[in-house]
């Protein structure tokens, strides 16, 4: 399928989907070039866990809107790569808190640098006021979608 055919979308959601897929393709390519041993989903998951200290599996599943078993498989893989660890919650010994390890922080920092570089590369020809408008627009669109979905 040719690029022009793929982008014959009539809705904003479809166009946004293709834009996101293109960005993810580029990010995956750069991760591979720099030998980052993370999938894009793992990268997003590590970001969430690192920024929200004390998360448990159920909370993470709710944030990423996936079933617990799918998130558990991802957590198991991150743990087997030594990027993540599970620790007992001091307040509730039955709960396991998800923690990013030192190797996880290291790979996350490298991945974030690549993500930042890709972001700058893709936005370098777009005027700053348009970027600021898009930032506000997407924030409002997200909030509107959440409210319509009853979240």
C-beta of residue 91 within 8 angstroms of C-beta of residue 102: no
Does residue 126 fall inside a structural domain? no
The predicted pLDDT at position 3 comes to: 55
In whole angstroms, give the CA distance from residue 53 to residue 149.
Answer: 27
- Which alpha helices (H) appear in the chain, and where do they start and end? 3-6, 12-33, 40-51, 57-64, 68-80, 102-123, 128-148
Q: In this structure, what CATH number is given to the domain that contains residue 81?
A: 1.10.10.10
Does residue 102 fall inside a structural domain? yes
The predicted pLDDT at position 52 comes to: 87
Number of domains in the chain: 1
pLDDT in tens, the chain (151 residues): 455 555 677 888 888 888 899 999 999 999 999 999 999 999 999 999 999 888 999 999 999 989 999 999 999 999 999 999 999 988 888 889 999 999 999 999 999 999 999 999 999 999 999 999 999 999 999 899 889 988 7
Range(s) of the domain holding residue 68: 40-109
Query: Token digits for 52?
Result: 């929200």
The predicted pLDDT at position 1 comes to: 45
Coil, strand, or helix at residue 67? coil
């Amino acid at each position: 399928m040719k690029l022009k055919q793929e982008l014959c979308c009539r809705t904003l959601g479809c166009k946004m989907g293709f834009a996101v897929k293109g960005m993810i393709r580029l990010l995956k390519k750069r991760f591979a070039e720099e030998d980052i041993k993370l999938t894009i989903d793992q990268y997003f998951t590590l970001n969430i866990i690192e920024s929200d200290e004390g998360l448990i599996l159920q909370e993470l599943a709710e944030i990423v809107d996936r079933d617990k078993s799918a998130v558990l498989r991802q957590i198991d893989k991150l743990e087997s790569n030594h990027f993540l660890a599970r620790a007992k919650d001091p307040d509730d010994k039955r709960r396991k808190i998800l923690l990013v390890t030192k190797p996880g922080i290291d790979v996350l920092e490298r991945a974030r640098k690549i993500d930042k570089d890709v972001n700058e590369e893709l936005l370098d020809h777009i005027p700053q006021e348009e970027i600021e408008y898009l930032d506000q627009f997407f924030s409002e669109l997200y909030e509107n979608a959440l409210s319509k979905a009853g979240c």
